[in-house]
Amino acid sequence: MQTLLSHHWHHLPTGEVLDLLETDAQQGLDIFEISHRQQRFGPNALTPRKRKSALLRFLEQFNNPLIYILLIASIVTAVVKGPVDAAIVVGAVLVNTVIGYLQESRAEEAIEALSQTMGAEATVLRSGETQRVDARDLVPGDMVLLQAGDKVPADLRLVRTRDLQVAEAALTGESVPVQKAADAPLPPDVVLAERRNMAYASTLVTYGQGSGVVVSTGDGTEIGRISELIASAQELQTPLTRNIAHFSHLLVYVILGLSALAFLIGVLRGQPALDMIITSIALAVATIPEGLPTAVTVTLAIGVSRMARRRAIIRRLPAVEALGSTTVICSDKTGTLTQNQMTVRQIVAGDLRYEVSGSGYDPAGEITHQGNTVALDARPALTECIRAGLLCNDSKLSREGELWQVQGDPTEGALVVSALNVFLEREETQQRLHSLPARALRVAASGHGDAPCLSSPP
């Protein structure tokens, strides 16, 4: 336990991992040891980034070259024309500032609310009993039980697996679920994406079952290290902010040049120098576009609102324009961007081929044959085929607002949706007696010439 974070956990045998963590795969930790480790390691949560104060976020809205020009213009206007005209310029600045502040504050609140809803529960083995606990209460050495649909609550060294697959796109970018196996240790220098005996926090179990021992929690997890890198990243200028800065500098040079030219022409024509100074200042103030910052801010705020209706949260207003300026998107491997959803399109049952309409996970389609809607009462083979796909299934379909989501493997989720398309509810009275992993079925099938060869879901 002294060098807990320095081990290559994927390289060590399971028994050595359990010995180092002073835990037992059959019993887990007892309540006294859990309390001690919670005090030592702290909660299993990422350290929240230090938020800027409301005053600082408000003052940051003035950090704009155009705003600097307007503030200078308001001072000059107060001297030359009086406080009324200066108040108009200041009012334009305040409108711009308030709009930007309110929009970014709303985004901060939405992100904070989102982070609070990401808290999950975990199934653990403690003192020989299975319990559901808050994932924040996990400590190194806890035995965690995993099944399809679970979110991995911490970094785990897998102890037992049964056809376990984990989607690690949030961590590695790999779009296809990874087959896991708690077998022989791996070389110490193997890359993270190939550590088949590990499961990492924030990834999702899509298929099978397994158990693992917690080796890292909170900021010590791989996702915690990524969070630290993001927090230390420097903020870059967007194309819009660069263009505004360039335009502001150009505008200053043009205004100063025109004012100097007007002053010079007036003096050469015999006008009093003091009058020409006042005239040049008035010309400079009149040339400044007071409404431009407000127009830009309002336009960006409208874009942020439209993105919010599409369930996208924009923290900084200029990011909207940066998205619109994107001309090339680079993606690896398949070269496509998908939603990781699958849909049943055709069903073959009783020598007949049926078409299934609908898209995604919305159970609003129907089943047809040669263009005619099918009545299940007259198609027993089709009914039993759909029922088999529904009952031999670990995925669950749920609705959040207007969106349907599947917890579990996308292939199994597609089978559930196809059953709900024809109003077949899962029969809860049907109790599963046992389940065999697809790998075992493949081995059994290979020994019998007439046995069907089954494959695991993609």
Catalytic residue numbers, as ranges: 332
Per-residue buried b or exposed e for 327-360, using 16+ beta carbons within 10 Å of the residue's own CB? eeeeeeeeeeeeeeebbbeebebeeeebebebeb
Q: Which residues are CB-contacts of 418 (< 8 A; sequence separation ≥ 6)?
A: 344, 347, 356, 365, 367, 386, 389
Query: Residue 76 and residue 68: Cα distance in Å, rounded?
Result: 13
The 3-class secondary structure across 18-73, one letter per residue, is: HHHCCCCCCCCECHHHHHHHHHHHCCCCCCCCCCCCHHHHHHHCCCCHHHHHHHHH
Tell me if 175 sits within 8 A of 340, measured CB to CB.
yes
Q: Indicate left, alpha or beta for 208 from its phi (over 0: left) and psi (-120 to 50: alpha).
A: left
Tell me if 250 sits within 8 A of 186, measured CB to CB.
no
Query: Residue 200 and residue 415: Cα distance in Å, rounded?
Result: 28
DSSP bridge partners of 146:
210
